Amino acid sequence: MIKPYKIDKENLIITIPRFTTRNNPYSEEYHPKMDNIIGIYEDEYNNGLAYRIDMDYKGKDDQYTDYFFKLNGEKEEFNEMCKDLEIDAMYT
């Protein structure tokens, strides 16, 4: 098993998959690739990264978890992070 974490000098590095697959309990053939992570910006004190929750099988927009990484930065800094990571951003 490959460990999804390591310590590099003074940093803890955690590997998070960028992509996952959609699942449809009504169809065994339907498993397209989807983004696993989304950037969420509420305000300068509440923003960061969250996991996407697949809701396509119910005909709904994807949902998301609570933040697993909080940036707590200005909107410009958040936009730069999402661009660098090549992930979608959602603004609430």
The predicted pLDDT at position 29 comes to 84
The predicted pLDDT at position 42 comes to 96
- 46: its two tokens: 């509440």
Q: Is 75 helix (H, G, I), strand (E, B) or coil?
A: helix
- Report, as an integer, the average pLDDT of 65-71: 95
Residue 69 pairs in a beta bridge with: 49
- Report, as an integer, the average pLDDT of 48-57: 94
The predicted pLDDT at position 47 comes to 97
Taking the C-alpha atoms of residue 25 and residue 28, their distance in angstroms, rounded to an integer, is 7
- Report, as an integer, the average pLDDT of 66-91: 95
* pLDDT higher than 90, residue 23: no
Taking the C-alpha atoms of residue 62 and residue 71, their distance in angstroms, rounded to an integer, is 22
The predicted pLDDT at position 11 comes to 95
